[in-house]
Amino acid sequence: MKKQGLTALAWLALGPGLILLPSALHALEKQPSSVYHARRVALAGKLQGGVAILFAAEEPALDFMPYRQDSDFYYLAGWNEPGAALVIVSDAPQAAAPRAYREILFLPARNLRMEAYTGVKMDAATPGVEEAAGVDHVEAMTELPAELDRLISADRGLFNNLWTQPGTAAATALLGFTATTLGSGDAPRGRDVTTLTMPLRQIKDEGEIALIKQASKASILAQRVMMQWWVKPGMTERAIAGAMTAVWMENGCERPAYAPIVGSGPNATILHYSNNDRTMQDGDLLLVDAACEYSMYASDITRTVPVNGHFTARQREIYEIVRGAQQAAIDAFVAGKSTINDHDRKDPNSLDTVAFNYINTHGRDLHGQPLGKYWLHGLGHMMGIEVHDPANYPVVLKPGMVFTIEPGVYIPEERIGVRIECDFLVTADGKLVDLDASLPHTADEIEAAMQAGKGATK
Ligand SMILES: [Mn+2]
Q: In which band, very low, low, confident or very high, does the pLDDT at 104 lie, cut at 50, 70 and 90?
A: very high
Q: How far is the CA of 266 from the centre of ligand 1 (A)?
A: 20
Q: How far is the CA of 388 from the centre of ligand 1 (A)?
A: 7
Q: How far is the CA of 156 from the centre of ligand 1 (A)?
A: 45
Burial code (b: 16+ CB inside 10 Å, e: under 16) for 225-252 equals: bbbbbbbeeebebebbbebbbbbbbbbb
Residue 179 has pLDDT above 50, yes or no: yes
Q: In which band, very low, low, confident or very high, does the pLDDT at 114 lie, cut at 50, 70 and 90?
A: confident
Residues 287, 272: Cα–Cα separation, whole Å: 11
Residues 287, 269: Cα–Cα separation, whole Å: 8
Q: How far is the CA of 405 from the centre of ligand 1 (A)?
A: 8
Q: How far is the CA of 403 from the centre of ligand 1 (A)?
A: 9
pTM: predicted TM-score of the whole model, two decimal places: 0.92
Domain that holds residue 348: 203-457
* Together in a domain, 143 and 207: no
* Together in a domain, 179 and 209: no
Helices 313-332 and 443-457: angle between axes, nearest 10 degrees? 120
Strand partners, 104: 87, 137
Q: In which band, very low, low, confident or very high, does the pLDDT at 124 lie, cut at 50, 70 and 90?
A: very high
* Together in a domain, 430 and 351: yes
| Mean pLDDT to the nearest integer, 22-43 | 83
pLDDT digits (tens, 9 = 90+) for 132-175: 999 999 999 999 999 999 999 999 999 899 999 998 999 999 99
Q: How far is the CA of 350 from the centre of ligand 1 (A)?
A: 17
Dihedral (C-alpha) 228, 325, 270, 232: value to the nearest 10 degrees? -20
Instruction: Give me the pLDDT at residue 185, please.
Output: 82
Domain at 305, CATH number: 3.90.230.10
Q: How far is the CA of 184 from the centre of ligand 1 (A)?
A: 46
* Together in a domain, 189 and 223: no
* Together in a domain, 171 and 207: no
Residues 166, 443: Cα–Cα separation, whole Å: 46
Q: How far is the CA of 407 from the centre of ligand 1 (A)?
A: 10
Structural domain contains residue 6: no
* Together in a domain, 211 and 192: no
Structural domain contains residue 312: yes
Q: How far is the CA of 219 from the centre of ligand 1 (A)?
A: 13
Q: Which of 133, 168, 200 is the last residue of a domain?
A: 200
* Together in a domain, 107 and 239: no
| Mean pLDDT to the nearest integer, 400-412 | 98
Structural domain contains residue 409: yes
Instruction: Give me the pLDDT at residue 186, please.
Output: 86
* Together in a domain, 270 and 372: yes
Residues 362, 377: Cα–Cα separation, whole Å: 18
Q: How far is the CA of 455 from the centre of ligand 1 (A)?
A: 32
Structural domain contains residue 5: no
Q: Which of 200, 218, 246 is the last residue of a domain?
A: 200
Structural domain contains residue 361: yes
Residues 122, 424: Cα–Cα separation, whole Å: 38
Q: In which band, very low, low, confident or very high, does the pLDDT at 6 lie, cut at 50, 70 and 90?
A: very low
Q: How far is the CA of 365 from the centre of ligand 1 (A)?
A: 25
* Together in a domain, 192 and 209: no
* Together in a domain, 139 and 169: yes
Structural domain contains residue 55: yes
Q: How far is the CA of 423 from the centre of ligand 1 (A)?
A: 8
Q: Answer with the residue of higher pLDDT: 9 or 141.
A: 141
Provide the domain count of the chain. 2
* Together in a domain, 114 and 167: yes
Q: How far is the CA of 380 from the centre of ligand 1 (A)?
A: 6
Domain at 192, CATH number: 3.40.350.10
Residue 5 has pLDDT above 70, yes or no: no
Instruction: Give me the pLDDT at residue 343, please.
Output: 83
Q: How far is the CA of 114 from the centre of ligand 1 (A)?
A: 38
Q: How far is the CA of 404 from the centre of ligand 1 (A)?
A: 6
Helices 206-225 and 237-250: angle between axes, nearest 10 degrees? 140
Structural domain contains residue 51: yes
Q: How far is the CA of 290 from the centre of ligand 1 (A)?
A: 9
Q: How far is the CA of 287 from the centre of ligand 1 (A)?
A: 13
Q: How far is the CA of 23 from the centre of ligand 1 (A)?
A: 30
Q: How far is the CA of 301 from the centre of ligand 1 (A)?
A: 7
Q: Which uninterrupted H or E stretch holds 302? A: strand 302-306
* Together in a domain, 85 and 176: yes
Q: How far is the CA of 406 from the centre of ligand 1 (A)?
A: 7
SS3 letters across the chain:
CCCCCCCHHHHHHHCCCCCCCCCCCCCCCCCCHHHHHHHHHHHHCCCCCCEEEEECCCCCCCCCCCCCCCHHHHHHHCCCCCCCEEEEECCECCCCCCECCEEEEEECCCCCCCHHHHCCCCCCCCCCHHHHHCCCEEEEHHHHHHHHHHHHHHCHHHHHCEEECCCCHHHHHHHHHHHHHHCCCCCCCCEECHHHHHHHHHCCCHHHHHHHHHHHHHHHHHHHHHHHHHCCCCCEHHHHHHHHHHHHHHCCCCEECCCCEEEEHHHHHCCCCCCCCCECCCCCEEEEECCEEECCEECCCEEEEECCCCCCHHHHHHHHHHHHHHHHHHHHCCCCCCEECCCCCCCCCEHHHHHHHHHHCCCCCCCCCCCHHHCCCCCCCECCCCCCCCCCCCEECCCCCEEEECCEEEEHHHCEEEECEEEEEECCCCCEEECCCCCCCCHHHHHHHHHHHHHHHC
Q: Which of 200, 227, 247 is the last residue of a domain?
A: 200
Residues 353, 349: Cα–Cα separation, whole Å: 8
Q: How far is the CA of 424 from the centre of ligand 1 (A)?
A: 11
Q: Answer with the residue of higher pLDDT: 458 or 435.
A: 435
Q: How far is the CA of 265 from the centre of ligand 1 (A)?
A: 20
Q: How far is the CA of 223 from the centre of ligand 1 (A)?
A: 15
Residues 305, 441: Cα–Cα separation, whole Å: 10
Structural domain contains residue 18: no
Q: How far is the CA of 379 from the centre of ligand 1 (A)?
A: 9
Q: How far is the CA of 258 from the centre of ligand 1 (A)?
A: 9
Strand partners, 255: 293
Q: How far is the CA of 261 from the centre of ligand 1 (A)?
A: 11
Q: In which band, very low, low, confident or very high, does the pLDDT at 2 lie, cut at 50, 70 and 90?
A: very low
Which residue, among 291, 410, 432, has the nearest Cα to 359 in the 3D structure? 410
Q: How far is the CA of 2 from the centre of ligand 1 (A)?
A: 27
Q: How far is the CA of 302 from the centre of ligand 1 (A)?
A: 8
